[in-house]
Amino acid sequence: MKCPKCETENTPDSQFCKKCAMPLPFSKEMPAPQTETLRTPIKELTTGSTFAGRYQVIEELGKGGMGRVYKVFDTKIKEKVALKLIKPEIASDEETIERFSNELRLARKIGHRNVCRMFDMGETEGAHFITMEYVHGEDLKSMIRMAAGLSIGAVLSIGKQVCDGLAEAHSLGVIHRDLKPQNIMIDRGGNAKIMDFGIARSLREKGITAPSVLIGTPEYMSPEQAEAKEVDHRSDIYTLGIILYEMATGRVPFEGDTALSIAMKHKGENPKNPKQFNPNIPDDLSAVILKCLEKDKAERYQAVSGVRSELEKIEKGIPTTERVAPDRKPLTSREITVKFNLKKLLIPGLVVTALVIAAVIIIGRVAPRKETPPAESPGHSIAVLPFEDLSPKKEYRYLCDGIAETLINTLTGIKDLWVPARASSFSFEGKNPGIREIGRQLGVDNLLEASVQVVGNRLRITPKIIHVNDGAQIWSGQYDRQMEDVFAIQDEIAREIVKALKIKLLGEKESPLAKRYTENREAYELYLQGRYLWNKRGKANLEKAAAFFEESVRKDPNYALGYGGLADSYYVMGNNGFLSTAEALSKAKTAALKALELDPYLAEALACLGSLKTNWEWDFPGAEKDFKRAIELKPGYATAHQWYAFLLARLGRFEEMIAEISRASELDPLSTRIRANVGYMYYYTRRYDRAIAELEKAREMDPNHSWTYQYLGYACVETGLFARAKESFLRYQELEYGDAFEDEDIAYLYARMGRKKEARQLLAKLKSEGKPQQRPISPTMMAAAYGVLGEKDEAFAWLEKAYQGRDLALGYLKVRPTFDSLRSDQRFSQLLKRIRLEK
């Protein structure tokens, strides 16, 4: 007779289990049930069996404190997943199961490539189980043990990825509290995944885990954990420091014979400099690790994005050959992650593979990978660099840029050819980083360079294609034409490039590549001058651009591109507050509709029209239709993807929003404007660490891009980095207007800091005196500041002004964190309905 509790075999006449003294079935103390058969709790699964009518068991992967882990095939979703079967003695505790269920719900919020995705918790036949992602790989602890420490390149690569995963969790208010190398998987491509957010707790949801409960692993506990105090995201940062320490040295900073002795060292003993154990560690890396390990959490990095930023800087300073880049898979990949047992690799044919993979990751000799989209095949990628103006006075800069941009637009439409967008290709203007560095940053194998010389009415263009890797010139040409032949020259150059790159144009061989929107050379040159200024942005440039576009359509009233440029100019001026909403909407819409009347397939005009409907008409279905059509006509138009992302942001469709802004960034990887907007999109999703990290990238790309600083200020306010927020707001104003002053953004900041008196004084001053340089006051930010101060009537009065003036920021009412203080008021919901964000 088998004991139902411990499964020990007993003689048939036994009344009690000889091992655990449990009353046995059919004994006098425990009579046999009359209506159901007593089921033995499931403790393990058999290979080849089907569990819960859905999961086909492939093999056991390992076991731990909670139970056994299996690789299974989920017949419902047709994927391999990991299944953790919880021990019966744990599963029998209803309070424990409830806690796991609650925390699983929190963990499921986290969707990131560096976090193991939790799927579901189920129960069948009295057994509780959890399903999660699965991947072939090895846990970080095993890797460290095997190599007694990793290469500096591997430390930095894995460290950055762990930072990214933690940043995503922290942005959702979830902390890990048991981070350790055993809970970090490294797959065969070198990608890190954080596992077991099973005991994590949301900072926004109290009562799931009781306070004063010691949770964690002694070697990786923060001082506050060791004292069983409340912890926040900075506890994870301390543990991250331990993991960096261990990766770099092969040992943890504190060891002891008992858990208590280790905990006491975390609380009162300073760690030794990791350079004592590994002299090859850069000084900067030692400093980062030791700052993470500060006893006082206020002295540590206050956000994991700060750690990540420092690791990235250090990585740039080490030799290229020592850097390690993970083999990234597409974001849509459904690859699954669990722990991988090294013993399973001891099969003929797999041993060599495993050792090679381990060596690549540990030694860190993987060649650096491009962060920009790679060419689909060798030779099928090219970047068109700004053409060089050889005229003595450089008066044909607009013509050089215009011809280059026309070629970019033309080549972008060719299947199987990767061509970075204008902002990225032109970002090297005035710099000389070398062809290999340009190729690496743009993710291309070839560069098109050219010089332009204008003498009287004669035009000479001398283009050449250079192979990035060896600097070889694989094609060159020279075109001497009359200025009237500029259109034919563009078409000839495009065809020669295609021929040089050996790409077949599938039935398009005889048709022109570059569409001719006008035969009027003057109209075309005026258009090019307008686009040149439009791309530079700024109030004065945009006004001059609009004047050039106006003149171009006067020269040729049927010039669709001229009207499209005019629409873009008025839209951006209204968007930046240089024109009133009513004037910008009227002029931009008239021009966009005229452009589409002349050419219904003009993607630029469709995208502009979609933005007008989004920002000021609140016609969100109509806007989405325009954006989708624009992208269908011109998939490589980064601006259309970017503007569509802003529509999706307003609607709270964050997953689609991130996909669109990411696509824009892929198409134009070195565009500071797009990179800043990537950060701003993450701000809307409340992933503030990620937002700050992206905005820091934008700041590094161009320290003088003003909007980066305003967006950074908003993100810093939400993370409590108030001093940095103020510095960012003031820097934004200095760059945008020439001097810094305290405005409604600063008033909102003061209100959030609790400096209510100063906030009220500044708001009163803005109401009575306005702002310098005739810059209009943002009614939405005034409302946000008053909302934090608790003056809701005043806040809603300002929101009404925003509504009447069609203030651009009002469209983000549904998602922007600055309005959180007003969401509980019934007037807020009514306003959402008035601007069509809710039904």
Per-residue H/E/C for 1-48 = CECCCCCCECCCCCCECCCCCCECCCCCCCCCCCCCCCCCCCCCCCCC
CA distance 310 to 288: 7
Find out whether 466 and 446 touch, Cβ atoms under 8 Å: yes
Residue 705 maps to a domain: no
Catalytic sites, residue numbers? 178
What is the four-CA torsion angle of 508, 512, 515, 516, rounded to 10 degrees?
A: -160
Question: Three-state SS for 524?
Answer: helix
Residue 659 maps to a domain: no
Same domain, 127 and 153: no
Find out whether 551 and 591 touch, Cβ atoms under 8 Å: no
CATH number for 406: 3.40.50.10070
Question: Which H helix or E strand runs over 85?
Answer: strand 79-86
Residue 89 to residues 16, 61, 786: CA-CA distances in angstroms?
Answer: 19, 21, 54
Same domain, 205 and 317: yes
User: What would the two tokens of residue 405 be?
Assistant: 């941009």
Nearest to 554 by CA among 579, 527, 574: 527
Residue indicated by tokens 């859905």 = 54
Residue indicated by tokens 């722990």 = 339
Find out whether 748 and 787 touch, Cβ atoms under 8 Å: no
Q: Is 514 exposed, middle or buried (0-12, 13-18, 19+ CB in 10 A)?
A: buried
DSSP state of 73: E
Pairing of strands 79-86, 127-132: antiparallel
* pLDDT of amino acid 367: 35
* pLDDT of amino acid 425: 73
- Other Cβ atoms closer than 10 A to 606: 27
Residue 372 maps to a domain: no
633 Cβ neighbours under 8 A, 6+ residues apart? 601, 603, 606
Nearest to 517 by CA among 555, 477, 569: 555
Residue 645 maps to a domain: no
CA distance 64 to 214: 19
Same domain, 412 and 504: yes
Q: Is 509 exposed, middle or buried (0-12, 13-18, 19+ CB in 10 A)?
A: exposed
pLDDT in tens, 114-143: 888 877 788 887 788 888 888 777 788 878
Same domain, 115 and 18: no
- Which pTM value belongs to this model? 0.50
CA distance 486 to 524: 10
CA distance 693 to 683: 11
Same domain, 36 and 68: no
* CA 730 to centroid of chain Cα atoms: 26
Q: What is the residue type of 100?
A: F
Find out whether 572 and 535 touch, Cβ atoms under 8 Å: no
Question: Three-state SS for 783?
Answer: helix
Q: What is the domain extent for residue 66? A: 50-132
Residue 276 maps to a domain: yes
DSSP letters, 583-637, are HHHHHHHHHHHHHHHH-TT-HHHHHHHHHHIIIII--HHHHHHHHHHHHHH-TT-
Which own/partner contact pairs does 217-222 have at CB distance under 8 Å and 24+ positions apart? Answer: 217/178, 217/180, 217/182, 218/256, 218/259, 218/262, 218/263, 219/180, 219/252, 219/254, 219/255, 219/262, 220/178, 220/179, 220/180, 220/252, 221/262, 221/263, 221/266, 222/266, 222/297
The half-sphere exposure of 485 on its side-chain side, counting CA atoms within 13 A, is 13
Q: Is 72 exposed, middle or buried (0-12, 13-18, 19+ CB in 10 A)?
A: buried
* pLDDT of amino acid 39: 47
* pLDDT of amino acid 12: 65
Find out whether 657 and 684 touch, Cβ atoms under 8 Å: yes
780 Cβ neighbours under 8 A, 6+ residues apart? 798, 799, 802, 807, 809, 810, 813, 818, 819
Report the alpha-carbon angle 14-29-127, nearest 5: 85
CATH number for 74: 3.30.200.20
Overall domain count for the chain: 4
Residue 694 maps to a domain: no
Same domain, 176 and 313: yes
Rg (CA), the chain: 31
Residue indicated by tokens 């993470």 = 292
* pLDDT of amino acid 103: 67
CATH number for 162: 1.10.510.10
Find out whether 479 and 492 touch, Cβ atoms under 8 Å: yes
* pLDDT of amino acid 728: 93
Q: Which residues of the chain have pLDDT under 70?
A: 1-7, 12-41, 64-65, 91, 93, 95-96, 99, 102-103, 146-149, 198-216, 321, 327-379, 392, 413-416, 423, 430-432, 484-488, 490-491, 494-495, 497-516, 773-774
CA distance 293 to 253: 10
Residue 646 maps to a domain: no
Q: Is 174 exposed, middle or buried (0-12, 13-18, 19+ CB in 10 A)?
A: buried
Same domain, 315 and 398: no
Residue 139 phi/psi, 5-degree rounding, is -75, 155
Residue 778 maps to a domain: no
Same domain, 483 and 394: yes
Find out whether 92 and 76 touch, Cβ atoms under 8 Å: no
Residue 474 to residues 78, 420, 437, 445: CA-CA distances in angstroms?
Answer: 48, 20, 19, 12
Q: Final residue of a domain: which of 516, 534, 554?
A: 516
Classify the phi-psi angles of 717: left when phi > 0, otherwise alpha if psi is within -120 to 50, otherwise beta: alpha
CA distance 636 to 411: 10
Question: Three-state SS for 402?
Answer: helix
* CA 518 to centroid of chain Cα atoms: 41
Q: Final residue of a domain: which of 117, 132, 147?
A: 132
pLDDT in tens, 378-399: 347 888 888 888 876 777 777 7
Question: Three-state SS for 393?
Answer: coil
Same domain, 35 and 78: no
Same domain, 330 and 422: no
Same domain, 247 and 319: yes
Same domain, 201 and 221: yes
192 Cβ neighbours under 8 A, 6+ residues apart? 114, 140, 158, 161, 162, 165, 184, 185, 186, 326
Q: Final residue of a domain: which of 106, 132, 158?
A: 132
